[in-house]
Structure 1
Amino acid sequence: MEYAAGKYLIVLQLIFELESYIRELKKTGGAIKEFVTQSNFSLQVYKDDSKTSLKSSTRLECMMQDYPKTLAPIARVGVTDIWLAYAPVKNNPEDAAKVPKGNPYHSATSGELAIYRARSLLLRKVVVLITPLPLDLFFTCSGKYGVKKAGVQIGEPIKQVFNGQEVDPSIVWKPKWASTFSDVKRKVGGNCSISQGSTMVVKGRNVSIKGLSLDGALVVDCIDDAEVKVEGSVRNNGWITENVDNKDTSLPEEVRIRGFKINKTEQLEGSFHEPGKYCLKP
């Protein structure tokens, strides 16, 4: 399954730049190196080391992800970590609950919470470039800049069980706030911290978070023409995540397959629907 979107061709979870993709197709005719495999994925395909006779019914395969092997050594090819972008939702609650601990559940519950976890990990990985160099910084190859793993101090997630699945809840933002790691680095700074069990929701393009200490729930919602700086110490009772029974038919189906509901006990909310520059500080 594939479709064109602007200058890119998107194939499932593969993204090709159209210009170089077309160039490679003209060069290779679309041929990707094939390999032989058995339908049961057995490693032993041939009867013996002569590799002249097949052990059983076998097929030839080629994989879309082998496309980069046809590219020149200088080609730019990247792979996204699973925790950042891979969270299929395909198992019902009953089947997901049977998955051995430590394996991916691939359910509606784990799919949603994987997004929250990815956001938390991104904030933990934020680094700050500083010059001149204090002694506690790491040197880059050029020796001109230091990299300090500062970013956001985030409490370890509280382990909870929803629909029989152990998950760790929650930070979420709209893609227009940050769609890349560089966006996050640019918009987060200072000594920020988010406590265990806190919730942060960012809905707005021009929101910067500087020196924020969050223990509770914070929601920032602004239009694109508003610039909002969030700072200071936020303390409240926050949002409470409650387990639900997926067999309780009195609940909507989307809540049952989710495995939990959120009670918004208390929060600090900043809504900015007029152009301008604002500061949200308790």
Structure 2
Amino acid sequence: MSMQCFLNSLIYVLVVSHGSKAFHGTTLLATANRDTSSVRTSVKSAATSEAEMTKSLEELIGLKNLMLLNKDEQTILELLVEKKGQQHLVADWPEAGIEDDEKKNFVQSLVRLDTSYVGGLGAYIDKARALLASSAAGKNPFADLDAELPEGESLGDSSEESFMNAEAEGLKAARRGVGFILVAGGLGERLGYQGIKLELPVDGLSGRTFLDMYREYIAALSARIGKILPLAIMTSDDTDARTRELIAEKDIQGCQVEIIKQDKVVALSDGDARIALDGKYKIATKPHGHGDVHSLMRSSGLARQWLDDYGLEYLFFFQDTNALVLHTVLPSLGVAQKRDFSMNSVCVPRRAGEAAGAIAKLVKKDEPPLVINVEYNQLDPLLKAGNGQGDINDPKSGFSPFPGNANVLVMKLKDYVQTIEGKDRGVVDEFVNPKYADETKTKFKKPTRLECMMQDYPILLRREVPSAKVGFTTFDRWIAFSPAKNDLVTARKLSAAGEPPSAAASTEFDVYKAHAIKALLYDKEDASYQTLGGISGLYAGPRLIFGPFFALTVSDLRTKISQPHKCHLDPNTALYLDGSNIKIDSITLKGDAAAIIINTRNDASLLIKDLVLEADEGLIFKDIPDDELSNAKPSDSIRGYITVNKPTLTINIDRPGTFLLTGTGQLSELEPDL
């Protein structure tokens, strides 16, 4: 069997619905280049008669209606109606002279949808029919496949030498150039928030939004390596305008921002891939998924520009509300460079059966392997078929050998450009997940659509760069993964069950915890927890935020806070530090004391020594009663508490010099050394 045949067999990857038996789900992937024109379901709409299906467009709508349309509009409508079985689109058109503007706007929307989808609407419908036919047939995509553990590296705790070495290697890789791609096309509806997620505050101490935090990190890295690094943000119709406003509201030097906007795709109403309508003259559309980022990086020209004009060597893909992701940037780059990975997936430990995708190597005799994300309910039956045991935890670690996919990707840019400029043009293989109305599997409960995921890129990579290596880097969860994605009700239920809440509140406190542990100011083995907003299991140690200019790496922290044993912070205290020229010799914070200390000047330095602060108010969190949640500020209501930030001490160095901060907050300027 040829490699292409093997890859085609791999691409039909079944995603089994939660709780269902193996291989009886309804989500499949399809190759972008598979000939699907002859694959049809046996379903025909009762609303479309045999006679109508053989009529030309002119016969269906009349010559005068046809003459309302320009050449492009006629072409797309003829394709859909005469060749793709979409006669229902014009079935209710009145004669010319009635609702002409509505007809014109309707067909113009079809032209836009045809143009925005690579290959056009004809290819979209063909692929949809093939996928829907396979879904209805319940095909087993894993016949004759085995799953093995791919090459990768576990970095463990940030205090370990392997972690710091990886950061050092990553900094070398960054000096060669790295571009960042942020996927941010979705609203915060799952969070219970109606705005864009990037505008949400990460924490109540610094007040930074997610977007500010990401941009500041890239700016700090740019300053460190002496090269301005780019950030591309993939938006959608839902998020584009507000994202642009948010960027304009704060000028952050050292981070060049580009916007690439994805379009929606047509929704499908039944097993014959009939285009769904949302009214007589409105096409129903749905998001296509974050896999669009690859085709957009090609069509925008950014990937090629970053390679040829900027001379970048790596890309770092990440999503919008995992605030811990920045801790993984440099070490994952370092591992990718050391192991020559063309793609490196950031992973976290996962327990067997945990509802999270895993990175696995799919193999077939005499064929090259494919390292890719496999859903948890695919992995277990696949392993059982191979080793008879399934997905089981390692007795020593307590975790599955197959790490959990955090959906954070490092790419080698040269291979990436070659791949997305190949015959698939960056279009990641799609899948369909219809919710069937009955056992015939011909009607849906609601319209479906084709979807794609950015982590399925290895399928394209193998087609264009067969020799490319794909692997993973595993980090402890506390330092790498705490997404804000669930609403308050869901977060409460998950925390009560002992599961990560993955909500705005847990993300905030996980950020505090990660900074404290990295700085050796909190022992994670002696952890204490609290309940806020009805969410249990939240970190209850000192609230620390270190801005990226203060410390990009663990080595930076060891230099800036060289004697952690001389730093004493009570559990309810808070400390926010930002600026490259700050060092701590000794500090004591008692009670609820909170300090915000900033020095962004390159011509000023600050030493904190024997600073002692004590207060009964500082950074305070107060529960919001459930009956008042609807009246609370949206960014508070999704957390379940309000934040009162009354710093005991605020220092912002505003002039050149050498400064000492000591006592109960006295700032003095020292004489320069002669």
Does the alignment reach a TM-score above 0.5? yes
Partner of 1:199: 574
Letter in structure 1 aligned against 2:625: D
Shift of 1:104: 0.6
Structure 1 unmatched runs, 5+: 25-30, 52-61, 125-151
Letter in structure 1 aligned against 2:596: V
**Structure having the higher Rg:** 2
Does residue 1:243 correspond to 2:616, yes or no?
no
Does residue 1:263 correspond to 2:644, yes or no?
yes
Question: Residue 43 and residue 23 in structure 1: after superposition, are their counterparts in 2 closer, same or farther (change >3 A)?
Answer: closer
Letter in structure 2 aligned against 1:219: I
1:184 aligned to which of 557, 560, 565: 557
Shift of 1:267: 0.5
Q: Is the 8 A contact 1:154 1:196 kept in 2?
A: no
Question: Residue 47 and residue 78 in structure 1: after superposition, are their counterparts in 2 closer, same or farther (change >3 A)?
Answer: closer
Question: Residue 171 and residue 103 in structure 1: after superposition, are their counterparts in 2 closer, same or farther (change >3 A)?
Answer: same
Query: For residues 85-234 of structure 1, what are the structure 2 equivalents within 5 Å?
Result: 85-99=480-494, 100-124=496-520, 152=521, 159-166=529-536, 167-169=538-540, 170-190=543-563, 191-215=566-590, 216-225=593-602, 226-234=604-612
Q: Whole-Å Cα distance in 2 between the matches of residues 117 and 36 of structure 1?
A: 29
Query: For residues 5-84 of structure 1, what are the structure 2 equivalents within 5 Å?
Result: 6-12=312-318, 20=340, 32-33=369-370, 40-41=377-378, 43-45=380-382, 78-84=473-479
Q: Whole-Å Cα distance in 1 between the matches of residues 384 and 529 of structure 2?
A: 50
Question: Residue 41 and residue 198 in structure 1: after superposition, are their counterparts in 2 closer, same or farther (change >3 A)?
Answer: same
Partner of 1:133: none
* TM-score between both structures, scaled by the size of structure 2: 0.31
Give the match's secondary structure for 1:117: helix
Give the match's secondary structure for 1:236: strand
1:252 aligned to which of 633, 636, 646: 633
Q: Whole-Å Cα distance in 1 between the matches of residues 654 and 549 of structure 2?
A: 16
Q: Is the 8 A contact 2:596 2:647 kept in 1?
A: no
Shift of 1:47: 10
Shift of 1:263: 2.5
Greater alpha carbon shift after TM alignment, 35-44 vs 202-211: 35-44
Q: Whole-Å Cα distance in 2 between the matches of residues 276 and 112 of structure 1?
A: 34
Q: Whole-Å Cα distance in 2 between the matches of residues 47 and 7 of structure 1?
A: 40
Q: For each residue in 1:51-110, what CA deviation from the matched residue of structure 2 results, as whole angstroms up to 9, or x when unmatched? A: 9xxxxxxxxxx9779x9x9759xx9x7533221121111100011111144311000110
Give the match's secondary structure for 2:637: helix
Q: Which has the higher contact order (CA 8 A, sep 6+)?
A: 2
Q: Is the 8 A contact 2:516 2:522 kept in 1?
A: no
Q: For each residue in 1:143-167, what CA deviation from the matched residue of structure 2 results, as whole angstroms up to 9, or x when unmatched? A: xxxxxxxxx4679776332232121
Q: Whole-Å Cα distance in 2 between the matches of residues 160 and 40 of structure 1?
A: 33
Q: Whole-Å Cα distance in 2 between the matches of residues 192 and 94 of structure 1?
A: 38
Higher helix share: 2
Shift of 1:256: 1.1
Shift of 1:247: 5.0
Letter in structure 1 aligned against 2:504: A
Q: Is the 8 A contact 1:7 1:18 kept in 2?
A: no
Q: For each residue in 1:134-189, what CA deviation from the matched residue of structure 2 results, as whole angstroms up to 9, or x when unmatched? A: xxxxxxxxxxxxxxxxxx46797763322321212411121111121111101002
Q: Is the 8 A contact 1:236 1:266 kept in 2?
A: no
Partner of 1:147: none
Shift of 1:259: 2.3
Give the match's secondary structure for 1:91: coil
Partner of 2:654: 273
Question: Residue 86 and residue 35 in structure 1: after superposition, are their counterparts in 2 closer, same or farther (change >3 A)?
Answer: closer
Question: Residue 101 and residue 277 in structure 1: after superposition, are their counterparts in 2 closer, same or farther (change >3 A)?
Answer: farther
Letter in structure 1 aligned against 2:549: K
Partner of 1:127: none
Letter in structure 1 aligned against 2:587: L
Letter in structure 2 aligned against 1:209: I
Question: Residue 32 and residue 234 in structure 1: after superposition, are their counterparts in 2 closer, same or farther (change >3 A)?
Answer: farther
Q: Whole-Å Cα distance in 1 between the matches of residues 555 and 641 of structure 2?
A: 33
Letter in structure 1 aligned against 2:623: N
Greater alpha carbon shift after TM alignment, 80-89 vs 160-169: 160-169
Q: Whole-Å Cα distance in 1 between the matches of residues 386 and 647 of structure 2?
A: 69
Higher strand share: 1
Alignment RMSD (CA, Å): 4.1
Q: Whole-Å Cα distance in 2 between the matches of residues 179 and 9 of structure 1?
A: 18
Q: Whole-Å Cα distance in 1 between the matches of residues 511 and 499 of structure 2?
A: 17
Shift of 1:36: 12
Question: Residue 219 and residue 39 in structure 1: after superposition, are their counterparts in 2 closer, same or farther (change >3 A)?
Answer: closer
Q: Whole-Å Cα distance in 2 between the matches of residues 173 and 50 of structure 1?
A: 46
* TM-score between both structures, scaled by the size of structure 1: 0.67
Q: Whole-Å Cα distance in 2 between the matches of residues 36 and 185 of structure 1?
A: 36
Give the match's secondary structure for 2:586: strand
Letter in structure 2 aligned against 1:165: I
Shift of 1:275: 2.0
Letter in structure 1 aligned against 2:597: V
Number of residues paired by the alignment? 234
